[in-house]
Amino acid sequence: MTPETKAEAYVDYLRRTGVRDCRATPGNRGVLVLRRSADGNAEFLFISLWESMQAIDTFAGPDVAKAVYYPEDASYPLELEPGVLHYDVPVGPEQV
């Protein structure tokens, strides 16, 4: 979460860091960044799609349950989640 006034700058930052790095990692099948604004804040949900847990390991390192952050993240007053959740995708966009 970041103040709404920094939301656009944070989206640009995400494109330059996590989105770019995820997409450049072999086995990445796409990235979605969702944003919800409420009470003067912007909340973000970063979703990355992967072909395997091995591909996630290539991006995140051996502790795939730990969130990946970048040094500049500290310049945004964010609530940083320490971990990530992994889900299987039984139905995806290509199946609709």
Residue ranges per domain, the chain?
2-87
pLDDT at 29: 94
Could you give the C-alpha distances from 19 to 32, 40, 91, in angstroms and in order? 8, 25, 23
Kindly report the pTM of this predicted structure: 0.88
pLDDT tens digits, residue range 56-66? Answer: 999 999 899 99
Q: Are 4 and 37 in contact (CB under 8 A)?
A: yes
Residue type, 69: Y
DSSP character at residue 58 = H
Q: Are 41 and 69 in contact (CB under 8 A)?
A: no
Residue 95: pLDDT band (50, 70, 90) is: low
The rounded percent of the chain whose pLDDT value lies above 70 is 98
More confident residue, 92 or 39: 39
Judged against a pLDDT cut of 80, whether residue 48 lies above it is answered with yes
What class is the 2-87 domain? alpha beta
Q: Which tokens sit at 59? A: 């991006």
- The Cα–Cα gap between 29 and 53 comes to 12
- Residue 65 phi, psi (nearest 5): -90, -10
